[in-house]
Structure 1
Amino acid sequence: MEKYSEGLEAWLTGLKGDQKAQMLNQLIADDCVFHSPVVHTPQEGKQLTFMYLYGASQVFLKEGTFKYTRIIEQGLDAVLEFETELDGIHINGVDMIRFNDEGKIAEFKVMLRPLKAVQKIHELMMAELAAFKKPA
């Protein structure tokens, strides 16, 4: 089994557990920048990055088909290719993560294909984010 940096190991392990919110809160740097495949401007700061990554975990991991198929790590950068299926649409994507010197996520960029996958994720994420922003 491949051994990755502490930050990447925390990311991979945290996705499998039921403490995703806690893992994200600990792993995201305060000045993190998130690049979404469906939002045209970078989302800056821990709070926005948390909201998008937690929402994405709710969408992508819901049906249990999400898996990383290739992981490449070099220095502070990691590229993780993934596949999943949502509502009958096969989704192929890439998470590009840059960690800071403390092992926290400093930048997170997601790219998706094909176009109908981007459209489906946009639809599901907007619903998830709307629910996330509603007061309890």
Structure 2
Amino acid sequence: MNYVLENWHKVVADLDAGRLDQLLADDVVFHSPVVHTPQAGKAITTLYLKGAMQVLNAPGHFRYLREVVDGNQAVLEFETLIGDVTVNGVDMIRWNDKGQIVDFKVMIRPLKAVHAIHQAMGAMLESLKVSG
């Protein structure tokens, strides 16, 4: 398995956002499924990924279904639950030669899941901003 993806899977499995500091490039860009503009920088990307790990990792429900890797980029399809809504999505990840993620895009389906993510992430990001 690719070093970057191996580390990403450890972050997700262990819910260990502390590993993101080394895994993300300083100029990483995050593309949210519910925010129109790309979010640039390690600090904001870390905030979004921390929130997503908490929102999407319903105990025993989050799992990657398949992975397609081509050079320094990958698409990871996942499935989880938010409440009673099944969420199907993909993480599109690109990394540099240093093994740091430089672009992270999340796409979600169906529409009901997008609405559920929007509500849950909004609340989670507010709590993370307040608590640091």
**TM-score class normalised by the smaller sequence:** over 0.9
2:14 equivalent in structure 1: 17
Residue 103 of structure 1, CA deviation: 0.7
What is the TM-score normalised by the length of structure 1? Answer: 0.93
Residue 96 of structure 2 is aligned with which of 100, 104, 108?
100
Q: Please provide the CA RMSD for this pair.
A: 1.1
Residue 135 of structure 1, CA deviation: 4.6
State the Cα deviation string for residues 26-75 of structure 1 (Å, max 9, x = none): 21110000000000000000001000001000111133200000101110
Give yes or no for the alignment of 1:5 onto 2:40. no
Give the letter aligned to residue 12 of structure 2: L
Moved >6 Å (runs of 4+): none
What is the TM-score normalised by the length of structure 2? Answer: 0.96
Alignment check: 8 A CA contact 2:72 2:96 kept? yes
SS in 2 for 1:72: strand
Aligned pairs (5 A) from 1:75-114: 75-114=71-110
Alignment check: 8 A CA contact 1:63 1:86 kept? no
> Where do 5+ consecutive residues of structure 1 fail to align?
none
> Where do 5+ consecutive residues of structure 2 fail to align?
none
Matched residues in 2 for 1:91 and 1:135: separation?
A: 27
State the Cα deviation string for residues 106-126 of structure 1 (Å, max 9, x = none): 000000000010000000000
Alignment check: 8 A CA contact 1:72 1:80 kept? yes
- The alignment-based identity, stated in percent, is 52
Residue 46 of structure 2 is aligned with which of 40, 43, 50?
50
